[in-house]
Amino acid sequence: MAKKVTECLHHYFHGLGYNCAETTLRAADEAWELHLPEEAFRLMGGFGGGMGVQGVCGAVSGGVAALSHYYVHITGHQSPLLMAKAKIFQERVAERMGSTACAHLMPKYLTEKESCMPTITLIAEILDEVKDMELDIPRALPRKLRPLQFQQALAGSCLRIDIRSAEAYADGHIEGTVSLPLSALGEASFEAAMPVVLIADDIKAVDAAAAILDSKGVAEVYYFDTNNWKGEWTKS
């Protein structure tokens, strides 16, 4: 059974002495099995104490960071689900706790014995809740990937489909892509949560393919214009 972020907080906050931002991200990493590298946690150091000026609570910042890693496959701009959940997360913290700002939360929740633990726990409860929410996000138009973003996509966990004709694919294709011409796309099965990158040389074909994928419940669709490819072509 999957853990909750709230189950993992005490070890990092009281046991190891991390601040509220570090604690929240580390607890989410353990609970959600994010497998973040150690370097990632150091990025949260300056977000404790509301970035040192009692601004946005570090636990909120750590929660948004955890959601970002969980949902972003290429960039945040290209993850409407992340942006929707980050917004809901912050709205629910403000609604239930009165604010997302450290300056307002400390007088209400800080205790001499537990320090910021009551604040972190309540925020982590909301974080767990938002992560588990099912959201119906309207399909956005496919986002065009720049060459460097496409290189990231080639190395990431997404399905890379060349929708050009089988003949064009055989004549030359990008390694790491699979051939599935537009005419055959409707017969294929897809995992809804898996982002799809369409490789094409015709924007009309991209729009048609995106509509098919939308009908199959695929939430994230991107495309790469083969005219922008400067790397090697593979023949089959």
Q: Is residue 108 part of a domain?
A: yes
When mean pLDDT is compared across 89-93, 111-115, 146-150, the lowest value belongs to 146-150
| Residues 120 and 71 grouped into a single domain | yes
pLDDT at residue 118 tops 60: yes
pLDDT in tens, 129-152: 999 998 877 655 688 898 889 998
Last residue of some domain: 89, 106, 131? 131
Each residue of 157-170: pLDDT tens digit?
Answer: 899 999 999 999 99
Q: Does residue 198 form part of some domain?
A: yes
| 29 pLDDT more than 90 | yes
Residues 147 and 119 in one domain: no
What CATH number is associated with residue 174?
3.40.250.10
Yes or no: say if 81 and 71 are a contact pair by the CB < 8 Å rule: yes
What integer pLDDT is reported at residue 1 of this predicted model?
65
Q: Is residue 71 located within the same domain as residue 166?
A: no
Out of 98, 131, 164, pick the residue that ends a domain.
131
pLDDT for 140: 56
Do 125 and 157 share a structural domain? no
User: 158 and 184: one domain?
Assistant: yes
Beta strands in the chain (DSSP E): 143-144, 159-162, 178-179, 196-200, 221-225
Q: Are residues 164 and 211 in the same domain?
A: yes
The pLDDT tens digits for 51-69 are 999 999 999 999 999 999 9
What is the predicted pLDDT for the residue at 179?
96
Print the domain residue range for 56.
5-131
Confidence of residue 219 (pLDDT cuts 50, 70, 90): confident
What is the model's pLDDT at position 192?
A: 82
| DSSP summary character for residue 192 | T
Same-domain check for residues 38 and 121 = yes
Please report whether residue 165 resides in a domain. yes
Residue 163 lies in a domain: yes
Q: Which residues sit opposite 56 in a β-bridge?
A: 101
What proportion of the chain, given as a percentage, has pLDDT over 90? 71
Average model confidence (pLDDT) across the chain: 92
Residues 213, 190 contacting (CB under 8 angstroms): yes
Relative to beta strand 221-225, strand 178-179 is unpaired
- Could you give the number of structural domains in the chain? 2
For residue range 197-211, list pLDDT tens digits in order.
999 998 889 989 988
Confidence at 217, pLDDT banded by 50, 70, 90: confident
Same domain, 188 and 157: yes
Q: Are residues 108 and 166 in the same domain?
A: no
Please give the angle made by the CA atoms of 22, 27 and 31, to the nearest 5 degrees. 155
The token duo for 175 is 């390694």
Task: Tell whether 211 and 157 lie within a shared domain.
Answer: yes
* 138 occurs within a structural domain: no
The verdict on 209 and 93 lying in the same domain is no
Q: Please check whether residue 80 lies inside any domain of the structure.
A: yes
pLDDT exceeds 80 at position 78:
no
Please indicate, yes or no, whether residues 13 and 115 belong to a single structural domain of this protein. Answer: yes
